[in-house]
Amino acid sequence: MGKNLMVQVSLWKYEGRLPHHKIREMLKWQYGLSITTATIFDITRRVSEWLKPEHDEILRRIRGAPAICVDETGEKVDGGKYWLWAFTTESETLAAVRKSRGMKVLKEVLGKDFAGFITSDGWKSYITFTRKIQRCWAHLLREADYLAEHIDETKPLQKALRELYDQLKVVLEDDPPPEERAKLARNAKRRLNHWMKKSYGNEEVKKFVKKIRNGANYWFTFVLHPEVEPTNNRAERALREHVVQRKIIGTFRNEKGTTIYETIMTMLATWKQRGLDPSQALAECLTREWTKS
């Protein structure tokens, strides 16, 4: 199989979201090639193996990043429950399919000595893994908006949360020095505590306030550390393509397929983040590995 064919098959599969039998049909119609779906799978396997050095470099950069965003979504492998994790920075995104949603995945992917900050939702695995956490303000404000629409008691709290977050964003745009950031964080905590000490009657609101209180140490990390993002939107966006893929493929047949998937999808996502043409970048990678072999 030539390099161009391997690029085309990989892009049809993982960028075009075509199943193997559709790729087989396209190759027959457009190029008069008759190959089996097993061969198509083997092409993607070979491509993923040749991309391994590039993939490992992205993993190294993720592990050394000062701050990352992480999120996870449900996935199926041979009908069983798995999780697809997205680890992302401004310039790279790593996909990982694992059977666990627990802390051991963070240890495996990031390493036990990971020193960066993690922006995430409130899932307990993150807090267990590290205390250098930023809780997602997007999640918080969305929940506050929802409750305010349905429970009048929440409206003052929702308004206060939005005002606090918006005011912090405006002040931080000027990149204040560390001492001013520390003062901002202290004042923000005091304002938040004021609302946490109030008495609430509705049970849903009480649960919401408890959630905020439980994350008290992690709402203002972004104020103190400019490299930290206040929301987990970056990781949520990284998961969207995988959610679409999940709807199409339904389930991976085995873990061999997940390894191919996460390697190629990691590279495609990272190339697009960096403003590169996936077709050209993939061809260049395969050319390098082709030459070595």
CA distance 5 to 10: 9
pLDDT over threshold 80, residue 291: no
Tokens found for residue 238: 């990284």
Residue 117 CB contacts under 8 Å (≥ 6 apart), including other chains: 66, 67, 68, 132, 133, 134, 221, 225, 227, 228
Is the entire prediction scored with pTM above 0.85?
yes
Cβ contacts of 280-285, under 8 Å, gap ≥ 24: 282/7, 282/10, 282/11, 282/47, 282/51, 283/3, 283/4, 283/7, 285/50, 285/51, 285/54
C-alpha dihedral, 37 to 38 to 43 to 47, nearest 10°: 110
Tokens found for residue 4: 């161009």
Does residue 95 contact residue 86 with C-beta atoms inside 8 Å?
Answer: yes
Q: Give 159-187 pLDDT, tens digit per residue.
A: 999 999 999 999 999 999 999 999 999 99
Tokens found for residue 98: 């694992």
CA distance 153 to 259: 49
pLDDT over threshold 70, residue 196: yes
Q: Give 53-78 pLDDT, tens digit per residue.
A: 999 999 999 999 999 999 999 999 98
CA distance 141 to 219: 12
pLDDT over threshold 70, residue 293: no
pLDDT over threshold 70, residue 249: yes
Q: Give 121-146 pLDDT, tens digit per residue.
A: 888 999 999 999 999 999 999 999 99
Question: Which residue in 164, 173, 161 sits closest to 226, CA to CA?
Answer: 173
CA distance 242 to 109: 18
As a whole number, the mean pLDDT across the chain is 94
CA distance 184 to 181: 5
> How buried is residue 54: exposed, middle or buried, by Cβ count under 10 Å (0-12/13-18/19+)?
buried
